[in-house]
Amino acid sequence: MYNAPNSDGTVGKAMQVLDQVASFQRPVRFSELLANSPFPKPTLYRFVQTLTNQGMLTFDAERQTYSMGIRLVSLAHSAWRHSSLAPVARPYIEDLAAKVGEAVHLAQLDNGHVLFVDKCKVSDHFETLAQAGKIAPGYCTGVGKAILAFMPEAEQKKALDQQSYAACTPFTLTNRAALVLELEKVKTVGVAYDREEHEQGIISIACPILTRQSRVLGAVSIATSTNRYQIEDLENQRPNLLKAANLIGTEAELWQFPTWS
Amino acid sequence: MYNAPNSDGTVGKAMQVLDQVASFQRPVRFSELLANSPFPKPTLYRFVQTLTNQGMLTFDAERQTYSMGIRLVSLAHSAWRHSSLAPVARPYIEDLAAKVGEAVHLAQLDNGHVLFVDKCKVSDHFETLAQAGKIAPGYCTGVGKAILAFMPEAEQKKALDQQSYAACTPFTLTNRAALVLELEKVKTVGVAYDREEHEQGIISIACPILTRQSRVLGAVSIATSTNRYQIEDLENQRPNLLKAANLIGTEAELWQFPTWS
DNA sequence: AACCGTGTTTCACTATTTGAGACTACTTAA
DNA sequence: TTAAGTAGTCTCAAATAGTGAAACACGGTT
């Protein structure tokens, strides 16, 4: 997903290795990495060593396995605090979650994929950290469609090319044409719906977070289960959702001008 | 802090640049970076370009500023899930926080510095993400001392060399000898106290999380303010703290976690 | 028009990366 | 016990990628 067609140098390759380790979702041995690696043995070996030195990976000497290093957690702390909408949006999504009594998601788009940067659910607050950082496809989620619909055309085109259009559920839009049509509707209506397109039984209403210049920063959504509500019920929350998105948008804008206005 | 005495190659330098951007705690212009950089202009320029391509940094074209990229958030998500104590410890520290009604911290040691991987505070649950990833010194925090005291001698020596021994408050132990003495006490007593050594008005009781083989994985602490309680009051929570640490230790072991050193 | 401060590009020079292969250490099979 | 196998580490000449002084482009000031 990140491995650009033409890599940029040694650093790019190292990042590729990082991704690879991450993709295993568990501690991994050198030989396992090697088996799925485009790099020859000594090259991969050096990368892994370097990354370990740097704290981007950690090596368990007992088990001879590598996993993601905690330096990443600390770098990401910084990223989250200073490059995501989450810190400014926090009070608003909390508020919204409390008001509607359902899960509220906050997302940004990252290379065509929806990155959940925060989540707020009244019933169990502690799911938060586990969810922030999660990645989902853009073409079949409410937040994804909301962001895509409001992107500048050139960027949108690029992002649309990156979607897989795999059928997550029977309701998923599985081709680009259908998605484009849907996005047009989203743009005129102002909100996007996820009608069980990503996960069966889960629906959501999402709207983009825009600056005053109509640049899309991210999206907020209210998600719920079909056991409890239907799309029509979510529709009732639309004013609340729009208000929250609007507040976040204006505040984020202010926050982007720290000293020099 | 991470830039090993002798850097490892291009990748190491790139990471150094990442750290530098992170250290600004805000979007930063190229020239600002250049001013504090050991690298000549074009070199730095290329690094910044590469890192941006890779999604490790993001560039705001309007404002001409760089900040940490959201790819880091997604990589860190993986790190947090698979290489930190947090996921296993979560239920226990929540439980502990609820029982004692004070903030509970969970930390690991990373290159001599305490990395807070989780935090739980009954009054406001949502501070969590903002706190996880925070870095504090090892020599003047409860969790830091608890971890240091129980480290294998060789590693401990290395970690002690990395402390700055700066006086955060009038109560800080400001030299290695004093700290070593304290650590010995900690080791015999089994818990460490932070007597306003890091921040004035903040005290804590901390204890290490150990495996059955007495390998130290991290530490938990209960922190409070001197406005409400004294060290003696925290002492009463000792059984609860030890029990939680013990439970986390055994559970973490089952999960077969890697070492961090 | 001349000047200055950013940010970007060029290009010859050089240091780093590269990877086939050799080597070690440890495990399994005979 | 030795032989064969497997995972991990090291070496070194060749190739590549990184380096940075200098020069360029661009917008804003004086």
Q: Is the pLDDT of residue A254 over 80?
A: no
pLDDT at B82: 75
Residues B29 and B147 placed together within one structural domain of the fold = no
- CA-to-C1' span, A41 to C23 (A): 14
- Among A119, A116, A121, A132, smallest CA distance to A218 is for A116
Residues B41 and B88 placed together within one structural domain of the fold = no
Q: Is the pLDDT of residue A122 over 60?
A: no
Q: For B15, which of A54, A77, A81 is closest by C-beta distance?
A: A54
B211 touches strand D (CB under 7 A): no
Give chain B residues 52-111 with Cβ within 7 A of strand C: 64
Residues A42 and A124 placed together within one structural domain of the fold = no
- How does residue B254 score in pLDDT terms, banded at 50, 70 and 90? confident
- Identify the sign of the CA torsion A144, A147, A153, A155: negative
- Among B204, B192, B199, smallest CA distance to B230 is for B204
Tell if the CB–CB gap between B75 and A72 is shorter than 8 Å. yes
Residues B98 and B143 placed together within one structural domain of the fold = yes
Q: Is the pLDDT of residue A124 over 50?
A: no
pLDDT at B3: 41
Q: Quick one: A32 exposed, middle or buried, by C-beta within 10 A (0-12, 13-18, 19+)?
A: middle
- Identify the sign of the CA torsion B136, B139, B141, B144: positive
**Of the candidates B55, B74, B93, which is a domain's last residue?**
B74
Domains of chain A: total: 2
Q: For A70, which of B58, B83, B90 is closest by C-beta distance?
A: B83
Closest CA to the C1' of C6: that residue is: B31
Residues A51 and A103 placed together within one structural domain of the fold = no
Residues of A in contact with B111 (CB under 8 A): 55
To the nearest whole angstrom, how far is the Cα of A114 from the nearest Cα of chain B?
11
pLDDT digits (tens, 9 = 90+) for A89-112: 888 988 898 888 888 999 987 766
pLDDT digits (tens, 9 = 90+) for B165-210: 999 999 999 999 999 999 999 999 999 999 999 988 889 999 999 9
pLDDT at A5: 41
Kindly state the average pLDDT of the residues B100-106.
88
Q: Is the pLDDT of residue B126 over 90?
A: no
Kindly state the average pLDDT of the residues A192-220.
91
Q: Is the pLDDT of residue B259 over 80?
A: no
> Kind and range of the H or E element at A183?
helix A176-189
Between A13 and B122, name the one with better pLDDT.
Answer: A13
Q: Which two tokens stand for residue B251?
A: 């559970």
Q: What percent of chain B has pLDDT over 70?
A: 89
Alpha carbon separation from B208 to B21, B144, B146, B164, B211 (Å, rounded)? 33, 9, 5, 22, 10
**Is B4 domain-assigned?**
no
pTM of the model: 0.79
Q: Which of B124-128, B176-180, B233-237, B254-258 has the weakest average pLDDT?
A: B124-128
Nucleotide nearest to B41 (CA to C1'): D20
Bridge partners (DSSP) of residue A216 are: A210
Residues A115 and A30 placed together within one structural domain of the fold = no
**Over chain B, what is the mean pLDDT?**
85
CB distance from B54 to chain A under 8 Å? yes
Kindly state the average pLDDT of the residues B27-50.
93
Q: For A83, which of B2, B58, B260 is closest by C-beta distance?
A: B58
**Is B55 domain-assigned?**
yes
Q: Is the pLDDT of residue A70 over 70?
A: yes
Q: What is the CATH number of the domain that holds B57?
A: 1.10.10.10
Please, which residues have CB within 8 angstroms of residue A236's CB and are 6 or more apart in sequence?
A: none
Q: Which of A42-51, A116-125, B37-46, B192-201 has the weakest average pLDDT?
A: A116-125
pLDDT digits (tens, 9 = 90+) for B63-102: 889 989 888 888 888 887 777 788 888 889 888 988 888 8
**Of the candidates B57, B74, B91, which is a domain's last residue?**
B74
Ranked by mean pLDDT, the top range of A81-85, A149-153, B124-128 is A149-153
pLDDT at A128: 45
Q: Which of A76-85, A182-191, B200-209 has the weakest average pLDDT?
A: A76-85
Q: Is the pLDDT of residue A127 over 80?
A: no
Probe site for chain B from A46, A77, A121, A122 (most B CB atoms < 10 A): A77
**Is A1 domain-assigned?**
no
> Kind and range of the H or E element at B209?
strand B202-210
pLDDT at B130: 47
Residues B61 and B138 placed together within one structural domain of the fold = no
Bridge-based pairing of strands B65-68 and B103-110 is unpaired
Q: Which long-range contacts (CB under 8 A, 24 or more apart) does A44-49 make?
A: A44/A17, A47/A13, A47/A14, A47/A17, A47/B11, A48/A17, A49/B8
Residues 34-53 of B with CB under 8 A from A: 47, 49-51, 53
CB distance from B75 to chain A under 8 Å? yes
Q: What is the CATH number of the domain that holds B102?
A: 3.30.450.40
**Over chain A, what is the mean pLDDT?**
85
Residues B155 and B207 placed together within one structural domain of the fold = yes
**Of the candidates B56, B74, B92, which is a domain's last residue?**
B74
- CA-to-C1' span, A15 to D16 (A): 19
- How does residue B253 score in pLDDT terms, banded at 50, 70 and 90? confident
A215 touches strand C (CB under 7 A): no
Give chain A residues 151-210 with Cβ within 7 A of strand C: none
Cβ(A242)–Cβ(A111) under 8 Å?
no
Strand C: positions under 7 A of a protein C-beta atom: 5-10, 16-22
Tell if the CB–CB gap between B70 and A87 is shorter than 8 Å. no
A42 touches strand C (CB under 7 A): yes
A41 touches strand D (CB under 7 A): yes
Q: For A76, which of B53, B76, B87 is closest by C-beta distance?
A: B76
Cβ(B66)–Cβ(A73) under 8 Å?
no
Q: Which two tokens stand for residue A142?
A: 């409410």
pLDDT at B255: 66
Tell if the CB–CB gap between A4 and B74 is shorter than 8 Å. no
Q: Can you tell me the distance from the alpha carbon of B126 to that of B134, in angstroms, rounded to the nearest whole number?
A: 15
- How does residue A82 score in pLDDT terms, banded at 50, 70 and 90? confident
Q: Is the pLDDT of residue A126 over 50?
A: no
CA atoms within 13 A on the CB side of B93: 30
Residues A33 and A119 placed together within one structural domain of the fold = no
**Is A244 domain-assigned?**
yes
pLDDT at A15: 94
- How does residue B5 score in pLDDT terms, banded at 50, 70 and 90? very low
Between A72 and B145, name the one with better pLDDT.
Answer: B145
Tell if the CB–CB gap between B54 and A111 is shorter than 8 Å. no
Alpha carbon separation from A252 to A88, A152, A216, A247, B56 (Å, rounded)? 6, 19, 11, 8, 21
- CA-to-C1' span, B64 to D27 (A): 14
Q: For B258, which of A14, A67, A75 is closest by C-beta distance?
A: A67
pLDDT at B122: 58
Ranked by mean pLDDT, the top range of A60-64, A77-81, A138-142 is A138-142
Probe site for chain A from B46, B57, B73 (most A CB atoms < 10 A): B73
Residues 79-98 of B with CB under 8 A from A: 79-84, 86-87, 90, 94
**Is B147 domain-assigned?**
yes
Q: Which two tokens stand for residue B242?
A: 């030890």
**Is B258 domain-assigned?**
no
- Among A203, A151, A200, smallest CA distance to A180 is for A151
Between B94 and B239, name the one with better pLDDT.
Answer: B239
pLDDT at A114: 80
Residues B68 and B135 placed together within one structural domain of the fold = no
Residues A65 and A47 placed together within one structural domain of the fold = yes
Residues B49 and B93 placed together within one structural domain of the fold = no
Closest CA to the C1' of C18: that residue is: A43
Cβ(A76)–Cβ(A43) under 8 Å?
no
B47 touches strand D (CB under 7 A): yes
**Is B137 domain-assigned?**
yes
Kindly state the average pLDDT of the residues B36-57.
93
Residues 145-184 of B with CB under 8 A from A: none
To the nearest whole angstrom, how far is the Cα of B232 from the nearest Cα of chain A?
31
The domain in which residue B58 lies consists of: 9-74
**Is A261 domain-assigned?**
no
Kindly state the average pLDDT of the residues B27-34.
92
